[in-house]
Amino acid sequence: MNRGAFYLDRQNKKWMGVCAGIARKTGWDVTFVRIALVVVTLAGAFPWTLIGYLAAGLIAKPRPVYLSEEDAAPVRFGRTSTAEMTGSMRDIDRRLAEVETYVTTNNSSLAREIEALR
C-alpha cells in the first residue's frame, strides 16, 4: 500500500520518528513496526538495523505540517468533463470580476481618509 513519499512522523515518534514513518508509509500499526524492528535486531542484525535506523532518521525529511492524511496519499488525476471545466472557469471568472469591481470602484470614504493623511 503506497501512501506517498516517506517522511519521518515526528508527531507519533518515540525516538526519531522512523518507525512511525514506516508505519504511515506501509499502512501498518506503528506498534507492530517497532516490535518487528526489535525482533530483527535481537535476531542477529544488531549493527545493521541500528545503522539503518540512524541513517533513515538523519537523511529522511520530517513530514510537513500542512500535509493532511488525504494529502499523504498519491494524487490521482482523473478525467474532467468539459461541463465541469466550464463551470469551474465561470466560478473563477465571477470571483475575479468581484475582486476587480472592488478594487476599481471609487471608494469615497477611503479616498477622503487618504487625502486627510496628506
Q: How many residues does the chain have?
A: 118
The predicted-structure confidence for 39-90, as pLDDT tens digits, reads as follows: 999 998 888 999 999 999 999 988 877 655 555 554 445 667 788 888 888 9
pTM: predicted TM-score of the whole model, two decimal places: 0.51
pLDDT at position 75: 45
The domain limits of the chain are: 18-72, 82-117
Judge contact between 5 and 62, C-beta under 8 A: no
Instruction: Enumerate the β-bridge partners of residue 8.
Output: 62
State the average pLDDT for the chain: 81
The predicted-structure confidence for 30-52, as pLDDT tens digits, reads as follows: 999 999 999 999 998 888 999 99
pLDDT at position 78: 62
CA-based angle 60:62:64, to the nearest 5? 135
pLDDT at position 36: 94
Sorting pLDDT into bands at 50, 70 and 90, what band is 1?
Answer: very low
Q: How many helices (H) and strands (E) does the chain have?
A: 6, 0
Residue 64: closest CA among 4, 1, 2: 4
